[in-house]
Amino acid sequence: METKTIKISAELYEALDFCRDRNSDSAWESRSTIISKLLVRYDDTCQLIHEDGSYWFVVNGRKRGFPELTHTTENVRITQNLHDRLNEAKIHPDETINTVLQRLLFSYYGNKLVYRINIESTSSKDSQDLIFFMHEVLLTEPKFNNALFIEVVNVENYPEMKSKYERSTLPLSILYDFEGHEVWRMEGKHDLYEVRRKLESFIDSLEEFID
């Protein structure tokens, strides 16, 4: 099968890692497989528009600027067929593969704030309580459901994450803003009232973006 190597930004390379199949025991999928999956799931909800002299992404009616990407790149080997499909997904002749991947990722996350819960085991009572609270309580409320994308990451499946958070007490939850910057974290046994209060406070501060 003919293959091709593409260069993508280091930020996108890392972001693709979190789109792995969470139901997989090994949580291992190649980035080529992940990109193919994102293309299949892409539903054209993410558009690229030119307005006020700048380009913007519009996802689910929410406008956001282009996140800043470093010049650091990583190589990803993909099939020629997938490369052709990425080029076909361009909505402007000057659009780059990096921009196409950004659109796929924004569509995947629905342009919501990402609240990532890093756990060591699903059998942990503290982890179970937090995950249950998020999915069965907060996400049943429109305010939180419309604004948050909850990710549960088992660090045992991500050696680099396990090493990064080895000094942290799990579960470790981190809230990221629209640009992927960390804005708040809590570790160990979570005060669920405080979790609600912090998340609600941040959502309220960004109300104009997530209505």
Between 1 and 207, the higher pLDDT residue: 1
**pLDDT tens per residue, range 174-207:** 999 877 789 999 999 999 999 999 999 999 987 6
Q: What's the pLDDT score for residue 193? A: 96
Do residues 137 and 145 lie in contact, with contact meaning Cβ atoms separated by under 8 Å?
A: no
- pLDDT score of 159: 74
Residue with the larger pLDDT of the pair 156 and 65: 156
* Cβ neighbourhood burial of 47 (10 Å; 0-12, 13-18, 19+): middle
Please provide the average confidence, as pLDDT, over all residues in the chain: 86
Range of the domain at 206: 113-210
Identify the domain boundary among 108, 130, 148. Answer: 108
Strand (E) or helix (H) holding 38? helix 31-41
pLDDT beyond 70 at 208: no
pLDDT higher than threshold 80 for residue 72: yes
C-alpha–C-alpha distance, residues 22 and 137, integer Å: 21
Q: Are both 36 and 132 inside the same structural domain?
A: no
CATH code, domain carrying 130: 3.40.30.10
| Structural contact between residues 172 and 127, judged by C-beta atoms closer than 8 angstroms | no
Interior angle at CA 91, CA 87 and CA 96, nearest 5: 55
The verdict on 83 and 146 lying in the same domain is: no
Among the candidates 108, 129, 163, a domain finishes at 108
- Tell me, yes or no, whether 20 and 57 share the same domain: yes
Q: What is the mean pLDDT of residues 145-149?
A: 91
pLDDT band at residue 154 using 50, 70 and 90 as cut-offs? confident
At position 97, the amino acid (one-letter code) is: I
Is residue 20 located within the same domain as residue 80? yes
Looking at the fold, whether 168 and 87 belong to one and the same domain comes out as no
Mean pLDDT of 66-94: 88
The residues facing 116 across adjacent strands are 151, 174
Verify that 189 and 206 share a domain, yes or no: yes
Are the C-beta atoms of 86 and 100 separated by less than 8 Å?
yes
Share of residues in the chain with pLDDT > 90 (%): 47
- What is the arithmetic mean of pLDDT over 55-66? 74
Q: What is the pLDDT of residues 5-43, one digit of tens each?
A: 999 999 899 889 888 765 555 556 889 999 999 998 886
| 95 shares its domain with 12 | yes
Q: How confident is the model at residue 44 (pLDDT cuts 50, 70, 90)?
A: low
**Residue for token digits 């499909």?**
85
- Domain final residue pick, 108, 141, 167: 108
**Three-state secondary structure call for residue 109:** helix
91 pLDDT band (50/70/90 cuts)?
Answer: confident
Nearest 5°: phi and psi at 77? -90, 125
Residues 80 and 148 in one domain: no
State whether 97 and 30 are in the same domain. Answer: yes
Are 23 and 58 part of one and the same domain?
yes
Length of the chain: 211
- Please report the pLDDT score of residue 6 as a whole number: 95
Give the total number of structural domains in the chain: 2
With a pLDDT cut of 70, the percent of the chain lying above it is: 91
